[in-house]
Structure 1
Amino acid sequence: MRSPTTRPVCLEHRGFHVEVTRKDVKTLRLRVQRYTGEIRLSVPRRAPMSTVYAFLDANLDWLADARHRMQSVEHPAEKRLSQLTRVALWGSELELEVRQGPRATATRNPDGSLLLTGPDDAGLRRALDAFYRRELGRLAEGMLAAWQPVVDREASSLKLRRMSTRWGTCNVRSRAVTLNLALAEREPDLLEYVVVHELTHLRVADHGPDFQWFMGMYLPDWKQRRRRLNSRAADAV
């Protein structure tokens, strides 16, 4: 009979924040989640901490490389928009029309396509981010209003910005929730997962059993949604 997984322990090691979980495994296994930036290490139950630190030391170069690869992932808004004909919106593709103009603007055409105008590629990116901010803000505000009474916690503010390694963050002291603009490119149910995830952190700060229990009560399929959201996770050691 397999023993239950122990509660994760978080440690800081040479500038890396690592979530260590002891399991019925024979070897140490290290993973870095793309976008979330979480570093997770599975460890045999009886392995001493000296083995844990030695393993992390042996893989410092891999961790640094994985972090670099996460930060260098190219999102559609970081490509040359003047060369694109489509952009992602809520899990689907949106036809794109690009024009040169003095102001950075984003408007929907009568046929439903998106018209981006800007003086250069940087202006086009600003226009697209402004469009994503409107779309994401509209849906996220509604989800917060719906879920705050369920979680019995209320965010003090909602911030939207493009982030390279996380889908969302929650400051447990100020109760401010920040969401990645790139969520506007993904399916709405994945945004809902992130909203519930961050609100739940206002109840439980870590990702331990209590957090997972609440998430399972709120969203029974939250792990499947997390896998879909982080489908491009970094390779494991």
Structure 2
Amino acid sequence: MDGGCGARRSAGGVEYTLTRRRVRNINLRVRPDGTVAVSAPRSVPARVVDDFVADRVCWIQSARARMADREKVRAAEPPLPGRDEALARMTVLCQKWYPVFAASCPGGAMPRVRVRDMTTRWGSCSLKTGTLCFARRLCVMPPAAQEYVVVHEFCHFAHPDHSPAFWAAVAAALPDYETGRRQLRGR
């Protein structure tokens, strides 16, 4: 069945949902819950999509295993603080580092601090609004990792890229920044 809403199919022992779309290629995704979704052009026969999925069974199993491992790590982490508590913690840490970076902050003012539920980043810096934003999950990381992210984001006010000058500024402010960086990469 090639429905536009998503037909359930099976290939190579993998159950998947096939959705027909205006796309050029067959696209395969393993969702966080382990289910498999495939989108394909209307012109591609279902048997071709089945073969595509069957040829990628090893990759699908590997992706599911990585997601399961990630979920185990997340389950072992301490619970996240509430938004207000996370914001208070990150604000205190930013106030601690602000004097070091005041000259490079927009207008010399203390940046606005925000926390969000980010899953792909630990922090971000907006030059336009003078805002530092941090992932709420950063609050459960070791202190060295938290400091590294704060310093990293402050350095973006002076160097909005990851050039050698940027990394030199990070190293000048936090000589042991690699410790915090390693702690983040281990997660």
Q: 2-side partners of 1:194 and 1:216: how far apart?
A: 12
Cα displacement string for residues 79-132 of structure 1 (whole angstroms, at most 9, x for unaligned residues): 6xxxxxx851xxxxxxxxxxxxxxxxxxxxxxxxxxxxxxxxxxxxxxx65x34
Query: Where do residues 2-151 of structure 1 align in structure 2 (5 Å cutoff)?
Result: 73-74=70-71, 88=78, 131-151=81-101
Contact 2:144 2:179 in 1 (8 A): no
Q: TM-score normalised to the size of structure 2? A: 0.54
Letter in 2 for 1:205: P
Contact 1:155 1:176 in 2 (8 A): no
Aligned-CA RMSD value: 2.9
Higher strand share: 1
Q: Which fold has the larger relative contact order, with Cα–Cα distance below 8 Å and residues 6 or more apart in sequence?
A: 1
Cα displacement string for residues 187-226 of structure 1 (whole angstroms, at most 9, x for unaligned residues): 1221111111111101100111111111111000112210
Q: 2-side partners of 1:179 and 1:140: how far apart?
A: 8
Q: 2-side partners of 1:186 and 1:208: how far apart?
A: 26
Aligned length: 119
Q: 2-side partners of 1:217 and 1:166: how far apart?
A: 23
Which consecutive unaligned segments of at least 5 residues does structure 2 have? 1-58
Residue 121 of structure 2: aligned partner: 166
Q: 2-side partners of 1:150 and 1:156: how far apart?
A: 13
Residue 170 of structure 2: aligned partner: 215
Identity of aligned residues (%): 32
Contact 2:146 2:180 in 1 (8 A): no
Q: Compared with structure 1, are the counterparts of its residues 155 and 169 closer, same or farther at alpha carbon in structure 2 (3 Å cutoff)?
A: farther
Residue 160 of structure 2: aligned partner: 205
Higher helix share: 2
Q: TM-score normalised to the size of structure 1? A: 0.44
Q: Secondary structure at the match of 1:202?
A: helix
Q: 2-side partners of 1:203 and 1:75: how far apart?
A: 38
Contact 1:170 1:176 in 2 (8 A): yes
Q: 1-side partners of 2:125 and 2:82: how far apart?
A: 20
Letter in 2 for 1:74: E
Q: 1-side partners of 2:147 and 2:165: how far apart?
A: 20
Deviation at 1:75, TM superposition (A): 7.9
